[in-house]
Amino acid sequence: MKIVRFLDQGVDTPGVLEGEKVHRVSGDLLGEYRIERDFVLLSEVKLTPPCVPQKIIGVAINFQGATGLLEGMSEPLVFLKAPTCLVGHNETIVSPFRDVNVWGESELAIVIKTRAKNVTTEEAGKAILGYTIANDVSADNIHGWDHHLARSKAADTFCPLGPHIDTEFDPRGKVIEGYHNGRLLRRGTADDRIWKDRELVSLLSAWMTLEPWDVIVTGAPIRVREREFLKDADNFTCRIEGLGELSNEFRIRR
């Protein structure tokens, strides 16, 4: 099942995507629900982020060759992004920072299905609803501070997410790419990640309760060319094999 959210007469509404048709859903997609017969065409709706999480958990340095990787790391570097970071496919990333370097990162995201606390790796699979695409937009911090802190990671619009959640997606072997203005910037596969999905859910749940619809952004593949920062009117597109693409324009707030 492919879960979306879209604007229906101005109201953010859950739906299920079947081909090019978006069907409205009544009830609770994590409980009792009904997929309505009536539909709207995907080309005629504005998609919003496919879920409304309580928190967005970011994982850094999760690919071999990533900057900052240390030998013998026992757990990943983790940070938080605010729910107000979320924008959907084809929505605009708006940086509140002038004269500050900002960049995009293409990442596979896990969406949580059930409350998870102290779960084993075996139990973690049952806590995963599905997968979507995320762009972990980041900015340089001030005073040379770490760019994994909130000022760099948690600005409004700094986490495009979508276009849908695929509950049947298998990430094994899938290619993850990031394109800046159509030029390939990052490329890797989900298998290249150091900490995989069930392990991440288990590790995080040991010290942080995961709630339904929470999102875990699992890290960006390494760059295949030199870093390029976003400029006004640039585009950043994230592509994941089998999941599609998430594309957003970048603007600097005037």
* pLDDT 10s digits, 69-104: 767 788 889 999 999 999 999 999 999 999 999 999
Region 161-176: what's the mean pLDDT? 98
* pLDDT 10s digits, 190-210: 999 999 999 999 999 999 999
What pLDDT sits at residue 136?
Answer: 98
The vertex-27 CA angle with 23 and 29, nearest 5°, equals 75
CA atoms within a 13 Å half-sphere pointing along the CA-CB vector of 6 = 25
How far apart are the C-alpha atoms of 20 and 82, rounded to whole Å? Answer: 31
What pLDDT sits at residue 61?
Answer: 92
The arrangement of secondary structure in 1-48, i.e. its CATH architecture, is Roll (2.30)
Residue 225 pLDDT class (50, 70, 90 cuts): very high
The vertex-137 CA angle with 188 and 173, nearest 5°, equals 20
- Say whether 49-252 and 1-48 share the same fold: no
* pLDDT 10s digits, 106-161: 999 999 999 999 999 999 999 999 999 999 999 999 999 999 999 999 999 999 99
What CATH number labels 49-252?
A: 3.90.850.10
Dihedral, CA of residue 129, residue 130, residue 132 and residue 134, to nearest 10 = 60
Residue boundaries of the structural domains of the chain = 1-48, 49-252
What pLDDT sits at residue 64?
Answer: 85
Percent of the chain with pLDDT over 90: 94
* Strand boundaries in 75-141, DSSP class E: 77-81, 86-87, 92-95, 102-103, 106-112, 128-135, 138-139
Claim: this prediction has a pTM higher than 0.95: yes
Measure CA of the first residue to CA of the last residue in the chain; give whole Å.
40
